[in-house]
A = this chain, B = another copy of it.
Amino acid sequence: MRKEDTGAGHNPHHHSHSHKSCVSLVPIFNHLEEEQMNEITKTIHSINYKKSETVYHAGEQSDSLFIVNKGKIRVYRLSESGKEQLVRILMPGDFTGELALFTETTYVSFAEAMVETSVCRIKRTDFQNLLLQYPTISLKVLTEFSKRLAQSEKQSMRFATEKVETRIALFLAECFDSENQTDTIELPMSKKDLASYLGTTPETISRKFTELEAQGLIEQKTHKLIKVLDLDGLLLN
């Protein structure tokens, strides 16, 4: 456990001067001056994970923020009754562990590398010092927090008020919006994970996709590739 503390098995082969590229990749910091960057660079550690390795797990003592540099991380939770829910998938530039920094003393979710992944790790105290020293970073982080909060509340409301079919349609519509060059979207996760993310089962996902296809709203090119034929039709449901 907590392999990242020792670095064992993760090839933490970065040397401190090679952190720079990591820091500059992070949206939270990318408005800063060279000199400030260098200071920050001193406080972070770069860690690599192989596919399906654990970044952290619920219950573990938490004292760090993780920022994805390269790769993908799957963040999920276990509910009171033991069922798993996919919370989000982190792409480069995204961060996790933020609750750890301010409220909780242990992680409440699980994070696992989906592919070969490299992250920057910043300790709680170092990060808090950065915030006090560079107030503009706080604004960036606050902005990021508020985005995430908005996202979470939206998701929450959909669970509370929309049926599965609508949640799926809304999800597809959002994927469509972010892939603004083409009408074919690539699902960012397996249908199993999608089911977990949308609070349903793989069976239901499968059936609803077939229904949407029968209605002429989408076309399933492959398991991962979906062509959207009628966006409005999806939404006015």
Give the B-binding residues of A (Cβ under 8 A): 77, 79-81, 83-85, 87, 98-99, 101-104, 108, 128, 131-133, 135-136, 138-139, 141-143, 145-150, 152-162, 166, 170, 196, 198-199, 235
Please pick, from B83, B102, B143, B157, the residue contacting A87 in the complex, using a CB distance under 8 A. B157
* Min C-beta distance of A111 to chain B, whole Å: 14
Binding site secondary structure of chain A: helix
Contacting pair A160 B85 (CB below 8 A): yes
**Given known contacts A136-B132, A145-B149, A161 and B103 CB-to-CB distance under 8 angstroms:** no
13 A-B interface contacts by CB (under 8 A): A79-B162, A84-B161, A85-B160, A103-B143, A103-B147, A103-B150, A104-B150, A132-B135, A132-B136, A152-B153, A155-B156, A159-B160, A161-B199
- Complex Cα gap A98–B149 (Å): 10
- Complex Cα gap A166–B81 (Å): 9
Please pick, from B132, B142, B198, the residue contacting A141 in the complex, using a CB distance under 8 A. B142
Contacting pair A157 B77 (CB below 8 A): yes
- Complex Cα gap A161–B138 (Å): 34
- Complex Cα gap A225–B80 (Å): 25
**Given known contacts A157-B87, A161-B199, A146 and B79 CB-to-CB distance under 8 angstroms:** no
- Complex Cα gap A135–B130 (Å): 10
Q: Hey, which chain B residues are within 8 Å of A159, CB to CB?
A: 156, 159-160, 199
